Chain A
């Protein structure tokens, strides 16, 4: 077998960074970045993490009780960006019921783990999604009560 020449902790190699490969991949190539147009948007969520200053905006487009389109923008640390991106991949194509049941643990699991001090970041996406789902409910009610 070829000898492993890279030592643990060497810069540029996995163990040197406190992040998993999956998390780094979502950080470098985040999915579903952007905004949905007014017409497409059925729900919008804006949440901030007062503890660390991170912020996330999330848009959903819903038809047949499913999230057909999802888009996000985030200001924050690598954990916030990667978990935002991972959350959108979990929610895309899901029924509204399934989307409501997504937890931060699901996000962390998809990323193969997250450093302990970054755990709170993973809540950002989940909270933004819940906010967008609530916003959709509100919009529907407003439509229904409109003459």
Chain B
């Protein structure tokens, strides 16, 4: 099987599995317990926290463990909104965020907050001028993803961070698609809040973190014990967090080299695709992107049919967001970039990862060319 859907999830790194198995077998105590077993678990957790902090470039106490990228996004948005309700009611985000952010903003809107969803240009980059213009003295939070999950297009978060800092507005970055994939230090991002998730970087599901920089106002959204400095109640998923720490460490060690390798492979894939299949379009390819992602429109054919054609040939790819499978609405991200509904429906995301070799991509191009040619003979548009 050829797996080209690494933006949806990634397989566990063997060393991550090993670290988790050891933890589950030996360090099963509750880190909050007052005895030696609990103390041991607490030390293991502290070490995991330090490893993540060291790998990403933040303080250990700034790492707030939680269960998923979605929860991290929820904590960031709802937590700041709640903390700063008295100061203002306006939140700025982009129209191409993951549903974890967009739908949370919808919910906050129903609670009475005003939301600005800043549009993107045809390459999928947020309109930074429009974002700047939208800021008011009522703005209490800006939330912008580091890289889009469907196109891989990087957003100008450093610039936005500067803008936010000058006005004293907390800034949240959903870095689920970039943490451990791009060689960057958290402090260079300049964001007060950063979401990351284990299973996008060869770690486990159910383990994620919101990085909360010192001084960022935040209220918890779960009430209970005083875990995670009172910001996230609930007995910690220790094995998951150990796995997350190992995964972050391994990913960050490799990030520079692996991102160069993937960029070369992605460019090879796109060159081959363009020459093998007439009429296709690469979405966001003129913009800066994460190196592993390619989003391609095949006009006149349906993405789901291409996916099945490839699946039958043993190749796993996806349309945009895995969350929307079963939803007939085509990608909101591509629609925001100006693609027609039908072109959005005829688009695929290929996301490369550690297991990807050039031969896999050559086989994929061949299978895609065959499938698309077959579907083009059938198509009515």
Contact residues of A with B, CB < 8 Å? 11-12, 17, 19, 24, 27-28, 30, 33, 46, 51-57, 72-78, 80-81, 117
- Measured between beta carbons, the chain B residues less than 8 angstroms from A76 are 302, 305
With A11-B1, A56-B380 known to touch, is A17 a contact of B328 (CB < 8 Å)?
Answer: no
A77–B380 contact, CB under 8 A?
A: no
Contact residues of B with A, CB < 8 Å? 1, 300-302, 304-305, 308, 311-312, 314, 316, 326, 328, 330, 341-342, 345, 375, 377-381
A55–B305 contact, CB under 8 A?
A: no
Q: How far is the CA of A54 from the CA of B330 in the complex (A)?
A: 12
A53–B379 contact, CB under 8 A?
A: no
Name, among A12, A19, A30, A53, the residue most crowded by chain B CB atoms within 10 Å (CB to CB). A53
B308–A17 contact, CB under 8 A?
A: yes
- Measured between beta carbons, the chain B residues less than 8 angstroms from A11 are 1, 311, 314, 316
Q: How far is the CA of A81 from the CA of B300 in the complex (A)?
A: 13
A73–B380 contact, CB under 8 A?
A: yes
Closest CB-CB distance, B328 to chain A, in whole Å? 4
Closest CB-CB distance, B318 to chain A, in whole Å? 14
A24–B312 contact, CB under 8 A?
A: yes
- Measured between beta carbons, the chain B residues less than 8 angstroms from A19 are 308
Residue of A nearest to B1 (CB): A11
Listed by A's residue number, 13 A-B pairs whose Cβ atoms lie within 8 Å are: A17-B311, A51-B328, A52-B328, A53-B342, A54-B302, A57-B380, A73-B380, A74-B380, A75-B342, A75-B380, A77-B304, A80-B302, A81-B378
Residue of B nearest to A78 (CB): B308
Known contacts A75-B300, A77-B304; 17 additional CB pairs below 8 A are A11-B316, A12-B311, A12-B314, A17-B311, A19-B308, A24-B308, A27-B308, A51-B328, A53-B328, A53-B342, A55-B381, A57-B380, A73-B378, A74-B379, A75-B302, A77-B302, A78-B305
Closest CB-CB distance, B44 to chain A, in whole Å? 33
Q: How far is the CA of A116 from the CA of B328 in the complex (A)?
A: 13
- Measured between beta carbons, the chain B residues less than 8 angstroms from A74 are 378-380
- The answer, among B312, B316, B330, B381, for a CB contact under 8 Å with A75, is B381
- Measured between beta carbons, the chain B residues less than 8 angstroms from A17 are 308, 311
- Measured between beta carbons, the chain A residues less than 8 angstroms from B1 are 11-12
Residue of B nearest to A80 (CB): B302
- Measured between beta carbons, the chain A residues less than 8 angstroms from B312 are 12, 24, 28
A77–B305 contact, CB under 8 A?
A: yes
* Nearest 9 Cβ contacts at the A-B interface: A73-B380, A52-B328, A77-B304, A57-B380, A75-B381, A78-B308, A75-B379, A75-B380, A55-B380
B304–A53 contact, CB under 8 A?
A: no
Residue of A nearest to B316 (CB): A11
Closest CB-CB distance, A18 to chain B, in whole Å? 10
Q: How far is the CA of A28 from the CA of B378 in the complex (A)?
A: 11
Residue of A nearest to B303 (CB): A77
Q: How far is the CA of A19 from the CA of B304 in the complex (A)?
A: 13
A33–B302 contact, CB under 8 A?
A: no
Closest CB-CB distance, A76 to chain B, in whole Å? 5
- Measured between beta carbons, the chain A residues less than 8 angstroms from B380 are 46, 55-57, 72-75
Closest CB-CB distance, A11 to chain B, in whole Å? 6
Q: How far is the CA of A46 from the CA of B381 in the complex (A)?
A: 11
Name, among B300, B308, B311, B314, the residue most crowded by chain A CB atoms within 10 Å (CB to CB). B308
- The answer, among B300, B301, B305, B341, for a CB contact under 8 Å with A53, is B341
- Measured between beta carbons, the chain B residues less than 8 angstroms from A55 are 380-381
A75–B301 contact, CB under 8 A?
A: yes
Q: How far is the CA of A27 from the CA of B311 in the complex (A)?
A: 13
Closest CB-CB distance, B231 to chain A, in whole Å? 38
- Measured between beta carbons, the chain B residues less than 8 angstroms from A80 are 302
A73–B342 contact, CB under 8 A?
A: no
Closest CB-CB distance, A10 to chain B, in whole Å? 10
- Measured between beta carbons, the chain A residues less than 8 angstroms from B375 are 81
Closest CB-CB distance, A143 to chain B, in whole Å? 27
- Measured between beta carbons, the chain A residues less than 8 angstroms from B300 are 75
Q: How far is the CA of A52 from the CA of B330 in the complex (A)?
A: 8
Q: How far is the CA of A56 from the CA of B312 in the complex (A)?
A: 24
Q: How far is the CA of A56 from the CA of B380 in the complex (A)?
A: 6
- Measured between beta carbons, the chain A residues less than 8 angstroms from B311 are 11-12, 17
Closest CB-CB distance, A7 to chain B, in whole Å? 14
Residue of B nearest to A27 (CB): B308
With A12-B314, A24-B312 known to touch, is A117 a contact of B302 (CB < 8 Å)?
Answer: no
Q: How far is the CA of A17 from the CA of B316 in the complex (A)?
A: 12
- Measured between beta carbons, the chain A residues less than 8 angstroms from B342 are 53, 75
Closest CB-CB distance, B284 to chain A, in whole Å? 22
Closest CB-CB distance, B320 to chain A, in whole Å? 15
B308–A53 contact, CB under 8 A?
A: no
- Measured between beta carbons, the chain A residues less than 8 angstroms from B377 are 33
